[in-house]
Structure 1
Amino acid sequence: MSSHTDAARTLGVGILGAGPVTQAIHLPSLARLGNLLTVRHIMDVDPAVAESVAARVGATHSTSIDALLGDPEVDVVAICSPHQFHAAQVIAACRAGKKAVLCEKPFAWNAEEAAEISEVSEETGVPIIVGAMHTFDPGWLAAEANWGSLPETAHTIRSSIVLPPNARFEDFATEIITRPAGGTPDYKDVEVIKGMLRGGIMGLAIHDLPLVRRFTPDFEEVEVLEARHVRPFGYVISLRTPTRTIELRAAMNNTWKPEWSFEAFSDEEAVRIDFTPSYVQAGSAVTTFSRRDETTVHGPFDHNGYEGEWRELAAIATGTKQPPSAQTLIDDLTFALDIAEATVAAVDADHRAQQAVREGAHA
């Protein structure tokens, strides 16, 4: 039991992984929530990083997940490690009997891992939230509170991301998971293109896919119409379900101002949510509803989605709020994985068709 026994004790936070996302995003967010949460333990495989980051916040440091999970000062765990460790670390944190777990996306890398996490969470009673920060942004929550029947009536959904090139952002803040090693990628290599598209979906689009899914009741029947890589890093992906058209776009371009928007349209109304770039602490999203001749704006609000997810975690850990259902987390992940796999398959099919045409021309 913790040595901090006063009634007003804040929740102790343990963070697995002390890279740039922890340093630039989570620690500033937690610093604004000192009445709820206190960083108690920082773990990183690099002992110098663990020590220096922990020193900034007066926390214990270690290079061992067991040391952090065994620390009685740690009530809630944030998993900010490379994606391949997420599933095992979520399960270990649940088995350690912590009050709640926050895991960066993706929280699992396939449906089997997701199902195992769900079982362990149910068995141990430890709630999990996934750090898809847009779903915790007050701008999105305002949209949710005011959109009426739009999720049922929308026919077109669009996620558009335009960001300046930023290697650190690409590598860490969005957890791009298939960035080519050094030098200029070979854009003629279909495997490179497939890897970059998969990385774009699981690193960038994944922020908005839970929002897209909320407007897509038949999300399990999604198919890819077109998938195109945009150099140097980006994508244009057109999808459809029996009742919805979905467009996912991203580009990194020196000449455009940063823009990150989610839109949904029906015949009668539309919603647009403008998010701030995820690698800066620049406040909340702003939501705009357009209904015939009327425009309604909600926001900006006093905090962003990163702070929102920590507020949510604190509320869940103290029992003042119900956690999201495990099925919701699994459905969000499955939706992203299905789109990634279908996109790669579409690129493969297109590549084979082009090869066949070339071979036919030379026959």
Structure 2
Amino acid sequence: MRTSTLGVGILGAGPVTQAIHLPTLARLRDVFHVAKIMDVDPAIAESVAGRVGTAWTTSMDDLLADKAVQVIVICSPHQFHAEQVIAACRAGKQAVLCEKPFAMSQAEAEEIAAVSRETRVPIIVGAMHTFDPGWLAAKEHWGDLVRTAHTIRYSIVLPPNPRFEDFATEVITRPERARQDRHDPEVAAGMVRAGIMGLAIHDLPLVRAFCPDFTDLEVLSCHVPDPFGYLVNLRIGDRSVQVSGISTESWQPEWTFEALSDVASLRIDFTPSYVQAGSATAAITRGGEATVYGPYPHNGYEGEWRYLADLASGKAAPLDVTELIHDLTFALDVADKASAAVRASAASEAAASQATAPQKEAIA
């Protein structure tokens, strides 16, 4: 019966809710049911709720006051996350899942941590790959690779999100995005920051697992590929780190994480976010021999929801909120320094172009 499962309240009914969380929850009907959906646009709220036969509202307060809602998932725009996480904790819900980033500053993150500790409401952040069985298997078997790795590579090559969303479901409205001039220094800096805080942030906790000196971080170079993405070379402590994300019109998605030492290596191949296609596959190589773990039946999204159920029922220990703060501050540091580097690079290129313009005119 419905009352035997946990009621989920969803704040924000955009493409992530429609194409990721609702399909995932449909596979977990023995654990969850969608109790209410909130969106500021009543047409979207009503239409998305109609797909799953549940109630809808345009008011966060109404959703949080609903006794049928025990678990909250926050899929609203980034700037509302901190306020909504705190409100969900204050409302006495059993657990909260917030899409990344769960705050926009360290101060907001520390406020969330304090409220979570005070109310004893556990929080998890939707960095889905940290819950992927392929990643968890790699952690169990990589031995001393965290200590000995000298190079970390994290690469995403994906078609634009709408292509995946349209394969996953029939999306009800999505924001329009105009093409931007990536040669403008401020535009380029904004694109890099948005890419890191919106896409790279998924696996920056994985990078941080291999970088104990994550506060000693330097951006060596940063580039914005066409039409969108980021190519960032970092030095973190004594580790060389490359973080890249590229949007391409071709159909050959790739989402990989690698860690290399002189004697061993790890490579994890993740399935694309919007494709409900099972777990990642992890390969650990030592002495020329590779051991492969996975694929396993479920992906990281299902993993995070199953963990959330265990949190809500008291079967699992909460995550250390301090670690979530460290994940956020690491991502913000990468975003700040990378955007500053690309801003300076773009400004230098613009100045050089202006300087050569009179020469070209004279030759013409």
**TM-score, normalising length: structure 1:** 0.91
Aligned partners of 2:190 and 2:164: how far apart in 1? 18
Equivalent residue for 2:312, pick from 295, 310, 317 = 317
CA distance in 2, matches of 1:69, 1:267: 52
Name structure 2 gaps, 5 residues minimum.
169-174, 360-364
SS state at 2:215 partner: helix
Q: AA paired with 1:206?
A: I
5+ unaligned residues in a row in structure 1: which ranges?
174-179
Q: Secondary structure at the match of 2:332?
A: helix
Deviations for 1:173-221, whole angstroms, at most 9, x for unmatched residues? 9xxxxxx975432232111111111111111111110000000000011
| Contact 1:133–1:309 (CA under 8 A) maintained in structure 2 | yes
Q: In the alignment, which residue of structure 2 is the partner of 1:337?
A: 332
Residue 138 of structure 1 is aligned with which of 111, 133, 140? Answer: 133
| 1:253–1:187 Cα change, 3 Å | same
Q: Which residue of 2 aligns with 1:92?
A: 87
Letter in 2 for 1:241: I
Per mean C-alpha deviation after superposition, the further-off stretch among 344-353 and 222-231 is 344-353
Question: Counterparts of 1:191-202 in structure 2 under 5 Å?
Answer: 191-202=186-197
Aligned match of 1:126 in 77, 102, 121? Answer: 121
Paired residue for 2:156, among 161, 171, 187? 161
2:188 touches 2:343 (CA, 8 Å); kept in 1?
A: no
Cα distance in 2 for residues equivalent to 1:241 and 1:326:
23
Match of 2:147 among 135, 152, 155: 152
Instruction: Decide which moves more: 67-76 or 183-192.
Output: 183-192
Deviations 1:226-250 (A, max 9, x none): 0000100111100002310000112
* Cα separation, 2, equivalents of 1:360 and 1:190: 17
Match of 1:104 among 89, 99, 106: 99
Aligned residue for 1:113?
108
Looking at structure 2, the residues matched to 113 and 128 of structure 1 have their Cα atoms a distance apart, in angstroms, of: 14
Residue 261 of structure 1 corresponds to 256
2 CA distance for matches of 1:183 and 1:97? 41
Q: Which residue of 1 aligns with 2:45?
A: 50
Once the two structures are TM-superposed, the CA of residue 125 in structure 1 deviates from its matched residue by 0.6
Alignment of 1:211 with 2:206, yes or no, is yes
C-alpha spacing 1:182/1:205, structure 2 compared with 1 (3 Å): closer
CA contact (8 A) 2:184 2:346 kept: no
**1:357 Cα deviation (Å)?**
5.7
Q: Which residue of 1 aligns with 2:64?
A: 69
Deviation at 1:39, TM superposition (A): 1.0
On the 8 A contact 1:138/1:303 being kept in 2, the answer is yes
Percent identical across equivalent pairs? 62
Amino acid at match of 2:119: T
The more displaced of 221-230 and 350-359 is: 350-359
CA contact (8 A) 1:223 1:239 kept: yes
Q: Distance in 2 between matches of 1:31 and 1:348?
A: 44
Q: Distance in 1 between matches of 2:164 and 2:260?
A: 30
Deviates more, 1:238-247 or 1:49-58: 49-58
